[in-house]
Structure 1
Amino acid sequence: MKTHLSKTETELLEQAETKGPLGKAAIYAKLSGPGWLQGAITLGGGSLAGALYLGILFGPHMLWLQPLAMICGVIMLSAITFVTLSTGERPFGLVIRRVSPFLAWAWIIAAAIANLVFCLPQFSLATAAIQQNIAPGTASVSPYVIGGGILAVAALIVSAYNKGGTGVLWFERILKVMVGLIVLSFVGVTITLIAKGAVDFGAVFTGHIPSLKYFTNPTPAFVDAIAQTGENSSAWTEIVTGDHAGKIIAAFGTAVGINMTFLLPYSILKRNWGKRHRGLAIFDLSLGLIVPFVIATGCLVISSASQFYGKTTDVLDDNGLPRPEMQASYESKLAPLLTKIVAEGRAESMESAKALVTPDDQRIAAMLADRDVAQLASSLEPFTGKFLAQKIFGFGVLGMALSTIIMLMLINGFCATEAIGQPDNKTVHFIGAMLPGIIGFFNPAIWTGASKAALAIPASTIAGALIPIAYYTFFLLMNSKTALGAEMPIGGRRIRWNVLMIFATGLVSYGAIWVTYQGVGTPGLKGIMSVSALVVLAILFILGTLGFMKKNRV
């Protein structure tokens, strides 16, 4: 593919080569774009929910998790960037020809599934932010009316991108502003909490040091609470640690989802970037993706931990009874204990098992309860004031949801055009883009849970389990001599690339297999799906490897 650059962009690139580090960075910042699209999609409902529930369950102890996930993601996105800019080809066709058609189709299907699944919580979250935070007076308005307005705005912006040229540039500028507002919203909340003395800096510092022990063990606040439950302590330990798996993989999986791996190469090609842009592309990812994500999610974990970790007053009233708005979530966390009591023969029914529940048991159920953006905003009011807590926080959440909806629609358009082999068909792109938007529009009928933010957890878990497909595909592609030719890294450079990619692919594969394995042995559909998912992943890895070996014989 030939790279057609505007005179201004060509001149700026030439100037960048003559500048020092700061001057070069300033020019690259001006030319950046696709990286901000990645930032816009990753800063969505999944990241919000992941950070929110990390804070609730783990306090500050898991602050390291999402940055580590982002490091893995950026390693692979950098590899995808290198391949795309070195070959100038669309990756889907390249993977079919040079690696494996099985992996290529698994990649595009998994990306499309992730788009559809992720769009549901975004609409739910955007509606909740409007009705609960920004405009409480709209609480009686049908969510379909609000969802229709959100869909119309998203469709209009995607349509502008479809026109190309200045439409692409304006699209990227809008997303830059939205990402900036998201980050500023959450930074403002955290700074206020710090000023009020509500943040433990020592715990925040140690929380950035990786530790795997909390993957399978309760954190200190839960250990202390569980110790008070006596006969039910072993049951609560199992319940609490069992709740960890989904939350961890959801937080990890939303850093860089499989649909993001599909977006990046096509957004780069849309800008007509080529080999000379490889340095700019890496800088673009750092500025538009890493920095906003780490800051925003870190602030959310800190805020959530300071307000909810180990606390129950927002769930239980002074009489130890669940508050009306939290009753459904509280009862869902108490239900596993009641089930175990019945299974152990200590009670004949769930209803009679409630008589054996102590205030200490109620406390743990309250500590585990799923909070929503409304609860987080309300809990911050004593520190930030009502306006900052509700309005600014609400706009930050709305920005996260809306920007992600737009990006999911855009990616699905790319999936549709690639699937039918018509990459330049704007009509097909728009139809494909509308599919996740329409699915998201019907979220009130699909998700009826008490917490709208909680919908992002199962969605993120499903999408997170699909990531290894993309990671392994591009690991093979980076080692394909037939695909990269003379551009394939050699010597020490190739070793560095492979060490980094093996680390990233191995880590996300372990996480996906771990969370999927949690369902193995479970009766019913969940157990069947878990076993099937593991078998399918194994088959894809084997077929992909065999296809790669066949197509890359020396």
Structure 2
Amino acid sequence: MPDGNPDDSSLRDVERDRQTILSARSRGKLATLGAFTKLSGPGWMQSALTLGGGTMGSSLYLGALAGVSMIWLQPFAMALGVIMLSAISYVTLSTGERPFRSINKHINPVLGWSWLIAALMANMVWSMPQYSLCFAVAEQNLFPEVFSGDGLLAPTANYPNLGKWVVSIAILVLCTSVTWSYGSGSFGIKLYEGLLKVVVAVIVVCFFGVVARMAMIGDGVDWAGVLSGMIPKLHHLYAPSEAFSPFLDAIADPAARTYWYDYIVSQQRDVMISAGSAAVGINMTFLLPYNLLSRGWKKDFRGMTIFDMATGTFIPFVLATGCIVIAAATQFHAQLPEGATAQGTTIEVPEHMEEKYGKLLEMRQSSESLSAGELPEEVSLPEQQLAAMLVKRDTYDLAKSLETLFSDGKGSGGRLFSNIVFGVGVVGMTLSSISLMMLISGFVICELADRPPIGWLFRIGCLASANGVLWPLIWANETKAWLTIVAGVYGAMLLPVAYVTFYLLMNQELLLGKERPRGGKRIVWNALMAVAALAATGAGISAIMKHAGYKGLAFAGAYILLVLAVQFWRKAKSQSSAV
């Protein structure tokens, strides 16, 4: 099977595009940048994938928990991701080989199979929060009258999940029909990429519009805080955001204060890990090389692809996530929920938050330290205030707060910006991500079968991540957007596999030959990739320790031993063959 699998028309298009780049280079840097912009595509696909429900949920909770003080985190994570994606594209375009085969042959088959399986598993995990979040927006922001009261899709005693199933199946049908266009040759690829460019543009414009409107009314946006938040602050890994300090200090009992201190730190770590893994997930590392190969690109496109990652992926991501963090921080950070009131010694929250608020108080009362007599049984008013602030907000809460903020007093302006503009942006994020996860799944299944990503095998393979449509059976009675945090932490456990693997590939002389970077370029590449790989590994270990404990760490250690054992076996086999 040819590695790139382009058809005849694609080959003609590739040669034309190659000549465009070569001609532009002869005319100077400005012409080259113009040609790169014209031919961009893979970077926008990466952007459409990363701007999904995971990014939405992570950005929302990042702003709610830490305000704008951690606005630096997602751009930093994406910068590291772009470094690794650029390395992946460099290796792929230099060799023209499919990475799965290259890893198995030149590095270690355990890493190759782990990368492939982890990419498919990540799709299956990440697809669920996309459907969940899309339904949440349809139900709460865009069409609330359809899903409530006597609405057409309102829950009933016999069909409590009717709306969820109807919306989810409609999403699956729409995304399947769009994704299958990719496998219909050169025209299908261009059509698919064109649609995704439009979706990414709509996402950025929607969220930018919300923040621009926010900056013009009320107290505006704390731009000084935003600028300060661009400076990395790692102390949030072990200390709560400073805005919670007055509320923690108001808790008289030291044990109770420690409980809430630790709870906030735990939540911040989860959101930080999730936000980092949502920036560039392991499935993105699989999408890029197989997308490049399906286009028939070779080494003349290396510079253009790196430019595409920096512009088509990094810039839209930073703009969209920054706007969501700013909006969430302005409306939620260290603030009581809208509509919450103090009734004597009790805090009452809006009806739709009562269950989540009650669970926070129950967790506090049933904590292990309480059984040891360290915490008072009664939950004090300051604790209730803090618990109300920490109730996990949903897209509905952000939209509702924006509706009040943006209201023009006549009942029209608020809904336009909070529900319509905001809702369309979120729907664009989820639909594009669902479609791209289906595309990646198609690539994975075709790679398993050693077949080109076309035809019915590719189309059936795309449905491997359609399990997301079953989310109503798996996730119920929880904040829908919080599922993105759970999935994000899981994704963080898998990402180091890809980063370490491609770090090794970039230094494989037998594979790259004279195309392997040398001298100063090699030092720069290795330094940048090492930072990215170490950051991903650190986040992965933290996620394993938090959610799997020492058993998870033991499993990770066993995996490393398996990789080393296979490596020693391959080396011994190679030496015996040479003799």
Write the mapping of 1:217-366 to structure 2, written as runs, cut at 5 A. 217-231=239-253, 232-314=256-338, 316-319=340-343, 320-340=347-367, 342-345=370-373, 356-366=378-388
Q: Deviations over 1:45-98 (max 9, x none)?
A: 000011111111111111111111001111110110000000001100010000
Identify the residue that residue 103 of structure 1 maps to in structure 2: 111
Matched, 1:117 2:129: no
Contact 2:361–2:379 at 8 Å: present in 1 too?
no
Once the two structures are TM-superposed, the CA of residue 242 in structure 1 deviates from its matched residue by 1.7
Identify the residue that residue 157 of structure 1 maps to in structure 2: 178
User: Which one of 93, 98, 118 corresponds to residue 90 of structure 1?
Assistant: 98
Q: Deviations over 1:371-423 (max 9, x none)?
A: 11111011111333221110010000000000000000100111111122223
The amino acid of 2:67's aligned partner reads G
The amino acid of 1:99's aligned partner reads I
Matched, 1:433 2:457: no
Q: Deviations over 1:201-248 (max 9, x none)?
A: 111111000111111101111122111112111111111112222111
Write the mapping of 1:176-191 to structure 2, written as runs, cut at 5 A. 176-191=197-212
Identify the residue that residue 471 of structure 1 maps to in structure 2: 499
Matched, 1:410 2:418: no
Contact 1:99–1:548 at 8 Å: present in 2 too?
no
Q: Structure 2: how far apart are the matches of 1:529 and 1:308?
A: 36
The amino acid of 1:294's aligned partner reads V
Once the two structures are TM-superposed, the CA of residue 449 in structure 1 deviates from its matched residue by 3.4
Residue 114 to residue 396, structure 1, CA distance change in 2 (3 Å)? same
Residue 540 to residue 62, structure 1, CA distance change in 2 (3 Å)? farther
Matched, 1:56 2:85: no
Q: Structure 2: how far apart are the matches of 1:536 and 1:281?
A: 37
Q: Which shifted more, 399-408 or 319-328?
A: 319-328
Once the two structures are TM-superposed, the CA of residue 426 in structure 1 deviates from its matched residue by 2.8
TM-align CA RMSD: 2.1
Matched, 1:194 2:219: no
Once the two structures are TM-superposed, the CA of residue 295 in structure 1 deviates from its matched residue by 0.5
Residue 203 to residue 543, structure 1, CA distance change in 2 (3 Å)? farther
| SS of equivalent to 2:26 | coil
The amino acid of 1:325's aligned partner reads H
Q: Structure 2: how far apart are the matches of 1:129 and 1:151?
A: 16
Identify the residue that residue 535 of structure 1 maps to in structure 2: 557
Q: Which shifted more, 20-29 or 142-151?
A: 20-29
User: Which one of 40, 43, 46 corresponds to residue 51 of structure 2?
Assistant: 43
Contact 2:294–2:453 at 8 Å: present in 1 too?
no
The amino acid of 1:292's aligned partner reads P
User: Which one of 424, 434, 439 corresponds to residue 395 of structure 1?
Assistant: 424
| SS of equivalent to 1:210 | coil
Contact 1:466–1:512 at 8 Å: present in 2 too?
yes
| SS of equivalent to 1:356 | coil
Residue 223 to residue 543, structure 1, CA distance change in 2 (3 Å)? farther
Q: Which shifted more, 507-516 or 312-321?
A: 312-321
Q: Structure 2: how far apart are the matches of 1:544 and 1:25?
A: 45
Q: Structure 2: how far apart are the matches of 1:45 and 1:258?
A: 16
Residue 543 to residue 383, structure 1, CA distance change in 2 (3 Å)? farther
Q: Structure 2: how far apart are the matches of 1:333 and 1:477?
A: 47
Once the two structures are TM-superposed, the CA of residue 342 in structure 1 deviates from its matched residue by 3.0
The amino acid of 2:498's aligned partner reads A
Contact 1:85–1:273 at 8 Å: present in 2 too?
yes
Identify the residue that residue 419 of structure 1 maps to in structure 2: 448
Q: Which shifted more, 75-84 or 128-137?
A: 128-137
Q: Structure 1: how far apart are the matches of 2:453 and 2:461?
A: 13
Identify the residue that residue 399 of structure 2 maps to in structure 1: 377
Q: Structure 2: how far apart are the matches of 1:476 and 1:547?
A: 18
Contact 2:68–2:325 at 8 Å: present in 1 too?
yes
Q: Deviations over 1:328-366 (max 9, x none)?
A: 22223333321236323368xxxxx7x611111111111
Q: Which shifted more, 164-173 or 414-423?
A: 414-423
Q: Structure 1: how far apart are the matches of 2:39 and 2:312?
A: 11
The amino acid of 2:445's aligned partner reads A
Q: Structure 2: how far apart are the matches of 1:314 and 1:168?
A: 46
Once the two structures are TM-superposed, the CA of residue 133 in structure 1 deviates from its matched residue by 1.1
Q: Structure 2: how far apart are the matches of 1:187 and 1:99?
A: 44
Gaps of 5+ in 2: 154-162, 407-413
Q: Deviations over 1:475-530 (max 9, x none)?
A: 000111111111111111111111111111011101111221124xxxxxx44753
Q: Structure 2: how far apart are the matches of 1:540 and 1:113?
A: 20
Residue 224 to residue 530, structure 1, CA distance change in 2 (3 Å)? farther
Q: Structure 2: how far apart are the matches of 1:228 and 1:552?
A: 68
Q: Structure 1: how far apart are the matches of 2:476 and 2:211?
A: 31
Identify the residue that residue 13 of structure 1 maps to in structure 2: 21
Contact 1:315–1:366 at 8 Å: present in 2 too?
no
Identify the residue that residue 126 of structure 1 maps to in structure 2: 134
Q: Structure 1: how far apart are the matches of 2:566 and 2:281?
A: 20
User: Which one of 75, 78, 81 corresponds to residue 89 of structure 2?
Assistant: 81
Once the two structures are TM-superposed, the CA of residue 193 in structure 1 deviates from its matched residue by 1.1
Residue 544 to residue 227, structure 1, CA distance change in 2 (3 Å)? farther
Contact 2:443–2:453 at 8 Å: present in 1 too?
no
Residue 315 to residue 487, structure 1, CA distance change in 2 (3 Å)? farther
Contact 1:378–1:389 at 8 Å: present in 2 too?
yes
Once the two structures are TM-superposed, the CA of residue 108 in structure 1 deviates from its matched residue by 0.6
Q: Structure 1: how far apart are the matches of 2:487 and 2:42?
A: 25
Identify the residue that residue 190 of structure 2 maps to in structure 1: 169
- Counting matched residue pairs gives 541
Q: Structure 2: how far apart are the matches of 1:390 and 1:549?
A: 60
Superposition TM-score, scaled by structure 2 size: 0.89
Contact 2:25–2:31 at 8 Å: present in 1 too?
no
Once the two structures are TM-superposed, the CA of residue 12 in structure 1 deviates from its matched residue by 2.3
Write the mapping of 1:27-38 to structure 2, written as runs, cut at 5 A. 27-38=35-46
